[in-house]
A and B are shown apart, each in its own frame.
Chain A
Amino acid sequence: MSMSLMEGNEAIARGALAAGCRFFAGYPITPATTVLNYMLNLLPPVGGICLQAEDEIASIGACLGASMSGLKVMTATSGPGISLYSEQISFAVGSEIPIVIVDVQRLGPSTGSATRGADGDVNFLRWGNSGGLPVIVLAPVNAADCYTLTVQAFNLAEKFRCPVFIASNKEIAMTRESVDMDALQIPAIVNRTAPSAGKPFLPFQVNEGQTVPDFLPIGGNVPVRQTSSTHGPNGYITTDQDEIARILLRLKTKLESAVETFSFYELLSADESDTLIIAYGVTARAAKSVYRELKSAGKPVRLLILKTLWPVPETVIRQAAENVKRVVVVEMNLGQYVREIERLMGDKQIDFCGQMDGWLISPDKIKEAVTNG
């Protein structure tokens, strides 16, 4: 066996390169800065571009332009930058522009603590766009996940033409750890679909049996229209009520109806237990420690580690919670994703274990929440 030593941010950058990313734009911000540093080393030698833009709005704007030119693109920031990205995220959602957005979360609100971890943005990522349409959010647990989930994120962005977030955390991003690169489960690379030749191209036309329009780049041989305005299949503003309703509903259902095809998770089972722990991100590691301890103590619990947070992988969650009486949701915030679990399982006892002080939630704290419930 052989192992490599890398921090989560390096794993994200290397995963992006492997996925075919050829354009990155970012603005320095702790704890996401090293993604920019790594991309600056990785991209130019393969003919890619890494841009340090004047601010976060320009960073994501340049990415959207480059994505429309046909390149796979990524940007990386932290909570304060996500705030500035917001209007451009809405553009990417509504106008179906593929982009991977890394949020290396730090303790908020606002400037908060630059060098302290948190998972305080998980609802912000989902709901921080005007119009409230869904996005995809993946949450890595360790450096290995940072690599593989970034490849998955690019594939999903290409397939569904939407923003895909990596909800990382300072505690994963800037912690170096051993990774067995040969053991990574790396999916086949997906590229956006070009239309079949012969038919006139309409930029937002959805063909029979598809939920996502085919893609042609701006700058290719066929003129392509892209617009942030409410548009019909031809890419021009529309005021047709039915057409508007149809296209906006499709933006919702194209992701929500497909989430079972990209529900990433790890379920550690315990048939005889009446308690399920749900955790994600770096907190899942402490939960795993508790899972192991309780199992060896003869008091097993189930543990569901969610790596797809949005759209909510409802089937996975319901199945994991089958026959349990109680669900303990552990989050590095003061209670966000727990609301989704409450929405799904009104008949069970839902307990929350959270912490928002810049420190990791300890296994002791989770164990106490589980055993004293």
Chain B
Amino acid sequence: MDSLLNDTRPPVFCPGCSHERITHTLDKAFQNMGLADHQIAMVSDIGCSGLFDTFFNTHALHGLHGRALTYAAGLKLGRPDLNVLVTMGDGGQGIGGAHLLAACRRNLNLTLLVLNNFNFGMTGGQFSATTPPDAQVGSGFLNLLERPLDICQTAQAAGAAYVTRCSAYRKDLEAEIQRAMEFEGFAVLDIWGVCPGRYTKRNRLTPKTIEASLAKLPAIEGPVAENIRKEYGRHYRELTAGRKPVADPLKIETVFDPPQLGRREAILLGSAGQRIITAGEVLCLAGLTAGLNTTQKNEYNITVMRGHSISELILSPEEIDYTGIKRPGVVLALAQEGVDRRREMFKHLDGDALVLQADGVQVPACSARIHPMDLKSHRIKKPDWALASLGVLAGFGKIISPAMLAAGLKIRFKGSTLDTALELVKQIES
């Protein structure tokens, strides 16, 4: 295959920069793999590693600092056959640390080259996440205070399936890049190099000293046995193959006339675990069977099975504009937590409002008519109080009729749950 280097835009790195060597090595790897220009996307970060995409005649995406892996994920998921190669510096690795960890955990088939030259070259040699504490850098003494990050150990711990630490001057680097690209999964190459423009002006670092430093570290090269697993995209497609499309929203036909005219407001004041939201939904569905517009607004604690649970409902033959409720015509007082949350509201209730009061719930003084519901003697358990109270409401002919309620229950529930619910409201209506 031909070189994919861009003839009109030759590398512009500082003389002696290891990035230039990697540019040519990468091109050789592409050639050895027999890849054509449109089969590769170079996703480059910011800084000197961010120049890479311009030197190649391939697809290219040059985004924001530290975020290269985020774009690469979207590209690869959108184009599973594309070879997506990400170039990032030690700076980008620092700022985009969360993305590196996520990429390791996710195992999408991407190849990441971290062009690790131990400092922020382009902005003046400040310390990065990999700068040794004893290095002289553009950040004064600050690197003395922070410990450098081992990219490879981090990647391995985060689940990367292929990790190699190596020198930019390694003789078989092109073969190693090819191995990484051909590996099906996330592959990280931590490539140590020299930044002559900044870092080696004040620090001694040569191909030889890099080699010596690497020799002192445990070798990390290639597939990580304990992290080998399915590639994310392949796994995703396997898990989702053959799923049936979600049905369109259920359309509920108008078959009944509502028992009352005009806009009607109700509020369910209960506690978590009483299926308040479900009861509210059933009331809405019952309303739809009579052609009523409905809104349902819920309020509950962020924790579950604890505290209040409230559902505000409006049913109206007209378009519902304002969805707030100040003076509901019906209050279902089902638990003290809910009532206490809306104590203020009781002051505003009109004389013709109806409060259905469950056993043991204290209701503040108000002008509304209070109807105690004898749910306990019907042996109805607390989680069923909300649904049962809809039966009481329908029995009064308020907002919904018994037929509308039964139809609403039939839309919401199926099988034995439906039978139980129908039985429950029938028991209390009578």
How far is B280's CA from A50's CA once the two chains are assembled, in angstroms?
A: 30
Q: Could you tell me the distance between the alpha carbons of A292 and B76 in the complex, rounded to whole angstroms?
A: 53
- Is B63 in contact with A91, judged by CB distance below 8 angstroms? yes
- Please report which residues of chain B, range 283-327, place their CB below 8 angstroms from some CB of chain A when the two chains form the complex: 284-285, 287-288, 291-299, 302, 320-324, 326
Q: Are B323 and A360 in contact (CB under 8 A)?
A: yes
> If the complex has contacts A25-B74, A49-B236, A69-B79, are A54 and B251 also in contact, measured as CB distance less than 8 A?
no
Q: Which of A1, A55, A58, A228 contacts B291 (CB 8 A)?
A: A1
Q: For chain B residues 38-94, which have a beta carbon within 8 Å of chain A?
A: 38, 41, 43, 53-54, 57-64, 67, 69-79, 81-82
B249 touches A226 (CB 8 A): no
Interface string of A208-252 (1 = CB under 8 A from B): 000000000111111111111100000111000000000000000
Please give, as numbers and ranges, the residues of chain B lying within 8 Å of A229 by CB-CB distance.
Answer: 62
Interface of B is mostly: mixed
CA distance A221 to B323 in the complex (A): 52
Cβ A2 vs Cβ B74 within 8 A = no
Contact B253 A175 (CB under 8 A): no
Q: Is the CB of A176 within 8 A of B281?
A: yes
Hey, what's the 0/1 contact readout for B235-261 against A, CB within 8 Å counting as 1?
010001001111011111110000000
A42 touches B246 (CB 8 A): yes
**In this assembly, does A171 line the interface, its C-beta being within 8 Å of a C-beta of chain B?**
yes
**Inter-subunit contact A23/B294 (CB<8 Å):** no
The answer to the question of B176 belonging to the interface, with a C-beta cut-off of 8 Å to chain A, is no
With a CB–CB cut-off of 8 A, which chain B residues contact A179?
249
Residues B57 and A223 in contact, CB atoms below 8 Å apart: yes
| Interchain CB contact under 8 A, B253 and A69 | no
The digit string for A51-84, where 1 denotes a CB below 8 A from any CB of B, is 1011101101111111111110100000000000
Given contacts A2-B252, A285-B321, contact A175 B38 (CB under 8 A): no
Q: A64-B63, A219-B79 are in contact. Are A53 and B102 (CB under 8 A)?
A: yes
- Distance in Å from the Cβ of A233 to the closest Cβ of chain B? 15
Neighbour of A228 across the interface among B62, B250, B254, B297, CB < 8 A: B62
B59 contacts across to A, CB distance below 8 A: 218-219, 223-225
B142 on the A face (CB < 8 A): no
Q: Do B75 and A66 have beta carbons less than 8 Å apart?
A: yes
Identify the interface centre among A10, A64, A114, A217: most chain B CB within 10 Å of its CB: A64
Cβ-closest chain A residue relative to B284: A5
- A323 interfacial contact with B, CB 8 Å: no
Segment 3-51 of A: residues with Cβ below 8 Å from B: 3-6, 10, 14, 23, 25, 30, 41-42, 44-46, 49, 51
In whole angstroms, how far apart are the Cα atoms of A219 and B36 in the complex? 11
Q: How far is the CB of B255 from chain A (nearest CB, A)?
A: 10
Those of B176-192 within 8 Å (CB) of chain A: none
Most buried by B among A5, A23, A53, A226: A5
* Across-interface contacts of B245 in A (CB, < 8 A): 42, 45-46
Bound-state Cα–Cα, A179 to B296, Å: 13
Q: Is the beta-carbon distance between B324 and A362 smaller than 8 angstroms?
A: yes
With A176-B281, A236-B9 in contact, is A58–B323 under 8 Å at CB?
no
* Interface flag for A304 (CB, 8 Å): no
Given contact pairs A62-B70, A220-B38, A285-B323, A178 touches B64 in the complex (Cβ within 8 A): no
Which residue from B244, B285, B297 sits with its C-beta under 8 Å from A45?
B244
Q: Shortest Cβ distance from A14 into chain B, in angstroms?
A: 7
* Alpha-carbon distance A65/B99, docked complex (angstroms): 14
Chain A residues in 8 Å Cβ range of B298: 174
B337 within 8 A of A: no
For the complex, give the distance between the alpha carbons of A115 and B98 in Å.
Answer: 27
Q: Min CB distance, A316 to chain B, in Å? A: 21
Contact yes or no, A360 B302, CB < 8 A? no
Chain A nearest CB, measured from B81 CB (Å):
8
1/0 per position for A71-103, CB-CB distance to B under 8 A? Answer: 101000000000000011001000000000000
B262 to chain A minimum Cβ distance, whole angstroms, is: 14
Nearest first, the 10 A-B pairs at minimum CB distance are A61-B70, A65-B74, A69-B78, A219-B79, A66-B74, A65-B71, A44-B240, A54-B102, A4-B249, A62-B74
Given contacts A49-B78, A65-B72, 16 further A-B contacts (CB under 8 A): A2-B254, A3-B252, A6-B249, A45-B240, A54-B99, A55-B98, A62-B71, A62-B77, A64-B74, A171-B297, A175-B296, A219-B78, A224-B59, A282-B323, A286-B321, A362-B324
Chain A residues in the interface with B (C-beta under 8 A) = 1-6, 10, 14, 23, 25, 30, 41-42, 44-46, 49, 51, 53-55, 57-58, 60-71, 73, 87-88, 91, 114-115, 171, 174-179, 181-182, 217-229, 235-237, 282, 285-286, 288-289, 292, 359-360, 362-363
List 11 A–B pairs whose Cβ atoms lie within 8 Å, in order of A's numbering.
A1-B291, A58-B102, A62-B77, A65-B70, A65-B73, A88-B67, A91-B63, A115-B299, A223-B59, A282-B323, A285-B323
